[in-house]
Structure 1
């Protein structure tokens, strides 16, 4: 894999992402579609049009949704500032003040709110013959919009059973997000948890997160893969799994020049889980014509 930075304290590696975290739209797309905000983040038909325009602008082979990492958190009650198109949605303030409050999180209702509109947008694009990738946010990225995550780490040390319960609630609902994605015609469900990067939370919590929560969830999710649906991992997650011995690398070789997105589409039905580069890295050409798949241990 490219651009890997070795963590000195433990044998864990972190993928240095080249992409900025901005989730905004270009001036050209805003003008072309005459976008209005926050309406453009809340309407399925508009979101589908935006995704197609981004696909064209980035010379991609797939339409990617949503346009931020706050949709799942909002479905759990987070207060989100939808902002304007140049900046993208952000957490406005914390909806929860204690870990105890998180124990009462309600299951996601997929029939209301932005998460419902995002799934409808995926379905619209699928009906139009597009290949769709849905980005799904992980545990800490969701919690980061719900609560001051320092409270999560503090409770993890003193009352781990409470944190485990919170993560069980999140895990069950994240699995349902993958299921819903498959139902609406998504081809690639791409999991990323940028808030849990090694260089942010440190090797100790990274290992705990991966072994106790992320790995069990994604191993379960992998069984959803079939001839029309595949799981994609942010390379930050892939590298952690490799380093902790939770997954083995499988190198797939191609005899043609392909972009990363093209290769991802070609291995649907052949592999369950892939994760070599960012799903948004649309213009990268495969190094030596190979892509990395993961076989969970």
Structure 2
């Protein structure tokens, strides 16, 4: 069988055999939009669907990654729920500058947004439609901010973490409400043409919320998101930051997704625990930023020898990452 980039990633996400591992950078938190690429475009690459689609195509052309991914940040959903976002520029990523809520109730009091109704969520949908129309054999990856990370982008994380302990039922209601929105957003992205949805929940780590809270709050929410994405026919990727080794037993309860890990995680160990589940990663992003291409190629070869299912950066890369290093990564996988 002759594989295209799309069929190769589809096989990897389904745990099926392919000619080799795909090499991707999903977008969202794990975007390969570097200053080198962004400076070629006007400053509307976060707000104009046509420009966003062009940037996604330029990223693939400059780097060799075998996918197209949008958006290039993880502030879209927070803005939809009222947070103020500084859009940055070609050298600075977008960031939340003011939280949209001070209390849990004020999140629930807001009518559930319609992702297609306007704002930057609609920009993402428009960009996916444009990419889908122009790229038949290249997988398009849409992105979601995970529920816990979204909650801590809408209200002060320290307050939210305290409420997880003091008012767990109220926190659960908010997380369920946000997940309602994320489910709809995921469905809309697939309907627009996304072949897979990547969920990045960097706040939901063992180091930050602890293993017990991860099992109590994160696992049911991620399970629901994966299940709903599966129902659309799209693939799912879940990225957990930090040392997720202590979370592997909990993650093993989730079916239907590939799991992406940070560079601190031993992928061979993760693969052995997550039996029959696709494992993705985990090229150190500091090495991609400052390392030598030969060292990057050597690390890629180690992952390939371990039969890692999908090769990708370990986390979000620096905007200053040299294109030569990203090409060394993708070139090593492609041989």
1:17 corresponding residue in structure 2: none
Unaligned 5+ segments in structure 1 are 1-20, 252-272, 293-297
Whether the 8 Å CA contact 2:201–2:240 is kept in 1: the answer is no
Indicate yes or no: 2:69 matched with 1:64.
yes
Cα deviation, residue 165, structure 1: 1.3
In the TM superposition, what is the alpha-carbon distance from 1:166 to its structure 2 partner? 0.7
- Equivalent of residue 126 in structure 1, options 129, 132, 137: 132
Residue matched to 1:268: none
Residue 277 (structure 1) aligns with: 281
Match of 2:151 among 129, 143, 146: 143
Q: Deviations over 1:108-136 (max 9, x none)?
A: 22220111011100110110014211121
The correspondence for 1:82, drawn from 73, 78, 87, is: 87
For residue 145 of structure 1, report the CA deviation from its aligned partner. Answer: 1.7
Equivalent residue for 2:201, pick from 193, 196, 212: 193
Corresponding residue number in structure 1 for 2:119:
113
Corresponding residue for 2:253? 246
Query: CA shift at 1:61, angstroms?
Result: 1.4
Q: Secondary structure at the match of 1:145?
A: helix
Indicate whether 1:231 and 2:239 are aligned.
no
**Structure in which a larger fraction of residues adopt strand:** 1
Give the SS at the match of 1:47. helix
Q: Give the SS at the match of 1:41.
A: coil
- Count residues with an aligned counterpart: 246
Equivalent position SS for 1:165: helix
Greater Cα shift, 211-220 or 154-163 = 211-220
CA distance in 2, matches of 1:168, 1:248: 20
Give distance in 1, aligned partners of 2:165 and 2:48: 42
CA distance in 2, matches of 1:146, 1:224: 28
Q: 8 Å contact 1:134–1:181 — kept in the other structure?
A: yes
Query: Is 2:184 aligned against 1:176?
Result: yes
Q: Deviations over 1:198-241 (max 9, x none)?
A: 1222222222223342223323433323xxx2112225599677
Could you say which residue in structure 2 is the equivalent of 1:11? Answer: none
Cα 1:104–1:287 shift into 2, 3 Å? same
CA distance in 1, matches of 2:168, 2:246: 22
* 3-state secondary structure, aligned to 2:280: coil
Deviation, 1:67, is: 0.4
Change (3 A) 1:246 1:25: closer
What is the TM-score of this pair, normalised by structure 1?
0.72
Shift of 1:22: 8.5
Is 1:287 the counterpart of 2:310? The answer is: no
Q: How does 1:25-64 map to 2 (within 5 A)?
A: 25-33=33-41, 35-36=42-43, 39-64=44-69
* Contact 2:161–2:209 under 8 Å retained in 1: no
Partners in 2 of 1:177 and 1:94 — Cα distance? Answer: 21
8 Å contact 1:235–1:278 — kept in the other structure?
A: no
* SS in structure 1 of the partner of residue 194 of structure 2: coil
Conserved 8 A contact 1:234-1:278: no
| Structure 2 unpaired stretches of 5+ | 1-28, 259-276, 289-296, 311-335
Shift of 1:74: 1.1
Structure 1 CA distance for aligned equivalents of residues 113 and 257 of structure 2: 35
